[in-house]
Amino acid sequence: MTEPKVPAKALDDIKAMTFERALKELEAIVGRLERGDVDLEESITIYERGEALRDHCDRLLKAAEAKVEKLTLGADGTPKGTTPLDKDNGAPF
């Protein structure tokens, strides 16, 4: 894999972004690239930033998934505790 051409300083702000903010910027980049209204050099630059945003969103989602737990119910149907999300069993509910 080649090193990104975007300077590291230009990507530092991504680390502090919330998932929602990073996703919104990523969607804007995709829109610009789909419209084709940017020159080649800028397309490459914003594509690489988009990759960094996608990676950031992926890390945040994985971290959130690791925190998800499912409720365990007692025989009477009341919550009795939690267990870790079972990734092999699909949805947590």
pLDDT of res. 56: 97
Q: Is residue 1 a part of any domain in this protein?
A: no
CB atoms within 10 A of CB 52: 20
Averaged pLDDT of the chain = 82
Q: Is residue 76 a part of any domain in this protein?
A: yes
Q: Is 53 exposed, middle or buried (0-12, 13-18, 19+ CB in 10 A)?
A: buried
**Residue 24 domain boundaries:** 8-87
* Stronger pLDDT, 2 or 65, i.e. the higher one: 65
pTM, full prediction: 0.67
Q: Is residue 17 a part of any domain in this protein?
A: yes
- To which H or E segment does residue 35 belong? helix 19-35
From residue 93, give the alpha-carbon distance in Å to each of 8, 63, 74.
Answer: 41, 19, 15
8 A C-beta contact, residue 82 and residue 72: yes
